[in-house]
Amino acid sequence: MPLQGIRVVDLSRYAPGPYCTMLLADLGADVIMIEEPPGRGRRVDTEMGVSDRTKAFLPMGRNKRSVALDLKDERMREVFFRLVDGADVVTEGFRPGVAKRLGVDYEAVQRRNPRAIYCSISGYGQDGPHADLVGHDLNYVSLAGTLGMIGWPGQPPAIPMNVLGDFAGGGLFAAFAILAAVVARQRTGKGQYIDMSMTDGVMSLACLAASDYWSTGNPPRPGSYYLNGGLPCYNVYETADEKWLSIACMEPWFWKKLCVVLGCEQYADEQFNEDRFEEMFAFLRRELKKKTRDEWFAELKDQDICVTPVYGLEEALADPHTRARGMVAELEHPEHGTIQQIGVAPKFSDTPGSVRTPAPRPGEHTEEVLLEIGFSPEEIASLAAGKKA
């Protein structure tokens, strides 16, 4: 696989960091999660009532190994550094300053392994006026200006799922940055520190909207920007069965084909004429209510028109295209039988990634990994018992 031979020591706990290292693990990296020993510390999933069956389906721990270490314990912290000695990457998702208080910050890791790449994933970054704020995805997309562009005029912002901040702005950007640092190390021979702010990531995702604002002086507002509902040719329309159809005929040639099919050729050259937007919206809303969503899709999809049904997640997962692309993977769980997971998105011709193992139990691979890095069975037993060897 593409990342075979890359070892990642993962200190992160919540969605962004584990998603980042899941992407690396899917492509073959040996990801070792450092988790608190059972019975110690706070487990948010337990406190929030997440069942064991739900945990079995969670993808973020797949293809990884788990080592249980209490980093507040000096002897177990030394085990962490033994792992760091042979690691390519260390990731963490603590609030700024926590890794340093635990003694596992970048400077400490660099002293042991100058080739290690260390990535900190946080809400607002390691510096700046908001660095110490607590937050979640909703806060990051709000501060980055993205939430303020989503929705309809006169209505509250439409809260998106946590794909923008946690998974794209945080986890995906972090994985991209880590691999860029791996490439740089081939040239310099040195590791480096990556400060990955989810808010920065979301703001980068909004680069087109920002450039339009700077060039025109008009900030995008909900439902009025050309990519968020302001154009009749790029919008969603309710159908006869109270479902929705997405039309994205931004290019004139796609729009003209739609106008021909719908019998409104008078609008074919008026695509961006704001004076006619109101009547075009009214026509499309009225016309597309005459058939069901799936009837419209069946009629329009093969006519070189940018159209798709607006699916619920259950429909998207069942769609034949999703299945054909391998985006639903199945694997066996030792307790819950066959489970489904989202598949691996990038398709490699020669070194494909794969979904191989479900998330491990906390500490499941402690003995296995410690034996690999030179601990004796007696030392491992002593650590588990909390005694000095």
- Domains, the chain, with CATH or none: 7-205+324-385 (3.40.50.10540), 234-318 (3.30.1540.10)
Q: Is 5 exposed, middle or buried (0-12, 13-18, 19+ CB in 10 A)?
A: exposed
pLDDT tens for residues 158-200?
999 999 999 999 999 999 999 999 999 999 999 999 999 999 9
Q: Kindly state the percentage of the chain with pLDDT values over 90.
A: 86
Q: Is 136 in the active site? A: yes
Look at 43-52, 75-84, 108-117 and tell me which has the smallest mean pLDDT: 43-52
Identify the three-state secondary structure at position 145: coil
Where b means 16+ CB within 10 Å and e means fewer, 138-156 reads: bbbbbbbbbbebbbeeeee
Q: Is 130 in the active site? A: no
Q: For residue 388, is pLDDT > 60?
A: no
Average pLDDT of the chain?
Answer: 92
Which segments within the chain are labelled E, that is strand? 7-10, 30-35, 64-68, 89-92, 117-122, 193-197, 234-238, 244-248, 307-309, 328-333, 337-342
Of the residues 136, 333, 336, 365, only one is catalytic, namely: 136
pLDDT of the residue at 336:
85
Closest CA to 87 of 186, 194, 191: 191
Where b means 16+ CB within 10 Å and e means fewer, 200-233 reads: bbbbebbeebeebeeeeeeebebbebeebbbbbb
Contact 213, 149 (CB under 8 A): no
pLDDT of the residue at 59:
86
Query: CA of 103: how far to CAs of 189, 191, 282, in Å?
Result: 25, 19, 63
**Angstrom distance (rounded) from CA 358 to CA 61:** 7
pLDDT of the residue at 389:
43
Of the residues 70, 105, 137, 166, only one is catalytic, namely: 166
What's the whole-model pTM score?
Answer: 0.91
Q: For residue 45, is pLDDT > 80?
A: no
pLDDT tens for residues 303-318?
999 999 999 999 999 9
pLDDT of the residue at 174:
97
Q: Give the tokens for residue 86.
A: 């042979």
